Copies of this chain bind each other. A is one copy, B any other.
Amino acid sequence: MRPRESNRQGRHLASFALLLCAEEPTHGLALHRSINKLLPEGLKVDVGNLYRLLREMEARGTLRSEWSTVGSGAARRVYQITPVGLDELADWREDIARRRQAFDLFIQRYDALPARNARALKESAK
């Protein structure tokens, strides 16, 4: 079970969606582009699932939307974060900070593996 090559939206998708909507209201497709630009290779998000998530988040009250026809192109549903969403975003920040710590620990300990594990160290030098 090596790191997946296929798409994986990850459960922090919601966190990134909240963050980006807090920075600036956007619509689904733009959000999709931003998130996928920001995420590493194996974690790209499926656009269909993003739309589903957005509606669910609106139902939960963390985002709210309205149709926008400003500019050119098809009408967009523009999402912005709510006060409830800001609270949850704060929770996500804590959560992500903790995960990052676990990742740090992993990397520290990996890099500290004895040199006899030649393959591992060779790869990590890239």
Which residues from chain B contact A4 at a C-beta distance below 8 Å? 11
Tell me whether B96 and A103 are in contact (CB under 8 A). yes
Q: How far is the CB of A103 from chain B (nearest CB, A)?
A: 4
Q: Give the residue of B15, B43, B62 whose beta carbon is less than 8 angstroms from that of A99.
A: B43
A93 in complex: contacting residue of B95, B98, B110, CB < 8 Å: B110
Shortest Cβ distance from A125 into B: residue: B90
Cα–Cα distance between A104 and B97 once the two chains are bound (Å) = 8
- Copy number in the complex reads 2
Count A-side interface residues using an 8 Å CB cutoff.
57
Contact status of A3 and B101, CB under 8 A, knowing A22-B120, A110-B19, A117-B86: no
Q: Mark A60-80, 1 if CB is under 8 A from B, else 0.
A: 101000000000000000000
CB neighbours (8 Å) of A19 from chain B are 106, 109-110
Chain B residues with Cβ under 8 A from A126's Cβ? 94
A residues neighboring B (CB under 8 Å) = 1-4, 8, 11-12, 14-16, 19, 22-23, 38-43, 53, 56-57, 60, 62, 83, 86-107, 109-110, 113, 117, 119-120, 122-124, 126
